[in-house]
Amino acid sequence: MIREIAVRVLEFGYVCDHCLGRQFSRLGKENNAEKGKVIRRFLCMEDTAEKTGADPANFRDKHPKCAVCEDVFERLPEIAEKIAKKTAGMEFETFLLGIRMSDSLVMNEEALWERIDVRYSEPIKSEISRELAGMIAEKTGRRQDAKRPDVIITFDLQKNETEVFSNPIFIYGEYKKFVRGLPQTSSPHYRESVQDIIAKPFMKFSSAASNVFHALGREDKEARCLVWRPFILELKQPVRRKIDLKRMEKAINRGKRVKVRGLKFCKKKDVSELKARRPYKVYRLVVDFERKVENIEDAKKLAGTIKQRTPARVLGTKEDKTKYKKVKSIKWKKINNKRYRFEITAESGLYLRELISGDNGRTKPSISGLLKNRAVIKEFDLVGLEE
Ligand SMILES: [Zn+2]
């Protein structure tokens, strides 16, 4: 059986040891090249060489190219060298290699497989991947890890090009914001954000291409955040990965506006878990009324379900929908006849400004509506998250 397949393989043209041996990959433990060498020698001894082309010396061209792999296996050390050079400045422990095949190799293999019994064969792509990955591991001193690679290396045989993609790094932490007028995430409209302040030392150290800020709940630019709010910072395409989190924390906390604590590395799936959390939010707010407040007890009726249409101020960017959200509790303290301090515990996603103003009837009930007295938020802070 082996002999029969081997003869058919060699009738295909000159075939190198790798490509000959690979057709017997499932037999025995030797690597493909060793198998190919043994089988070739055996056929030469049997003197079938002349007929089959087992002996390369029988070819008019003394260095014929392999009819299957086009001598790609001879080029692998050089490709591995190129990849090692490309990753030289990068910090990583683990990698995953992906190979994009060239059309001609795919067609060669198909043509060969049409002629032979392929029951012991291994695809050429898997041998190239294995061999090249082994060489990269040896040259770089890094190991392969298909599940959690730090970098993904691709080699395109068609274009003879290699690309290195550095997987993102995720850092979990909690922050507080002590000033008003600072948006939560970066935007071209504002000079700085909580995201910018937290990401700054990370970007500098890791040389990442960009970053994404995932926080537990959105934050109004004018609200302070006086409770520790969880977030995950995602660094994209980092060059350096060994980040000293204590050092980052110190660098961020040198500033007065934003403080962080509890930084730790986390996984991608933690982002969706963070996004899925819907805590109740406790706000402390100062509200100004148009007229003297006479019926403050009516504010109690705010506790319950609030019917809220998308606020008029965000209609340009958000779809007009009606949402039902709960207010769990409301407390107040009089500052003067027309100014009160409230503490409101409300479900995630409730627009607070509209809960006070009523948004021309788009939010019901509201403080303005219940007290029949136009009310606006002067300032507010997030002071608690309840899960
Ligand atoms: Zn070959």
For every residue of the chain, which 3-state class applies, written as one string? CHHHHHHHHHCCCCCCHHHHHHHHCCCCCCCHHHHHHHHHHHHHHCCCHHHHCCCHHHCCCCCCCCCCCCCHHHHHHHHHHHHHHHCCCCCCCEEEEEEECCHHHHHHHHHHHHHCCCCCCCCHHHHHHHHHHHHHHHHHCCEECCCCCCEEEEEECCCCEEEEEECCEEEEEEEEECCCCCCCCCCCCCCCCHHHHHHHHHHHHHCCCEEEEEECCCCCCCCEEEEEEEEEEEEECCCCCCCCHHHHHHHHHCCCCEEEEEEEEECCHHHHHHHHCCCEEEEEEEEEECCCCCCHHHHHHHCEEEEEECCHHHCCCCCCCEEEEEEEEEEEEEEECCEEEEEEEECCCCCHHHHHHCHHHCEECCHHHHHCCCEEEEEEEEEEEEC
Q: What's the 31 CA to ligand 1 centre distance in angstroms? A: 14
Domain with CATH 3.30.2300.10 in the chain: 2-166
What separation in Å is there between the alpha carbon of 251 and the centre of ligand 1?
Answer: 56
Active site residues: 220
User: What is the CA(65)–ligand 1 centre distance, in A?
Assistant: 8
- Provide mean pLDDT across the span 302-314: 95
Can you give the C-alpha Rg of the chain in angstroms? 34
- pLDDT of res. 387: 86
Name the pLDDT band for 325 (thresholds 50, 70, 90).
Answer: very high
Task: For residue 41, name the pLDDT band (cuts at 50, 70, 90).
Answer: confident
Decide which of 30 and 335 is more confident: 335
Burial classification of residue 316, based on how many CB atoms lie within 10 Å of its CB (0-12 exposed, 13-18 middle, 19 or more buried)? exposed
Residue 49 has pLDDT above 60, yes or no: no
- Could you give the CA distance from residue 355 to residue 344 in angstroms, rounded to a whole number? 10
| Residue pLDDT, tens place only, 73-102 | 999 999 999 999 999 989 999 999 999 999
Domain 169-276 indexed as CATH 3.90.1280.10: no
Whether the pLDDT of residue 46 is over 80: the answer is no
Does the domain made of 2-166 have the CATH classification 3.40.50.620? no
Q: What percent of the chain has pLDDT over 90?
A: 86
Ligand 1 centroid vs 127 CA: distance in angstroms?
A: 11
What is the residue-averaged pLDDT of the chain? 93
Q: Where in the chain is CATH 3.30.70.3190?
A: 280-386
CATH 3.30.70.3190 fits 280-386, yes or no: yes
Tell whether the model's pLDDT for residue 3 goes beyond 80. Answer: yes
Phi, psi of 23 (to 5 degrees): -75, -5
- The CATH 3.30.70.2510 portion of the chain extends over 169-276
CB-count burial class (<10 Å; 0-12, 13-18, 19+) for 160: exposed
pLDDT tens, position by position, 261-301: 999 999 999 999 999 999 999 999 999 999 999 999 999 99
Question: What is the CA(105)–ligand 1 centre distance, in A?
Answer: 10
Expressed in angstroms and rounded, the spacing between residue 212 Cα and the centre of ligand 1 is 46
Please give the distance, rounded to the nearest whole angstrom, from the Cα atom of residue 109 to the centre of ligand 1. 10
Give 206 Cα–ligand 1 centroid separation in angstroms: 42
What is the number of other CB atoms lying within 10 angstroms of the CB of residue 158?
12
Report the alpha-carbon distance of residue 163 to residue 185 in Å, rounded.
31
Task: With cut-offs at 50, 70 and 90, classify the pLDDT of residue 29.
Answer: confident
* CA–centroid distance, residue 75 to ligand 1 (Å): 11
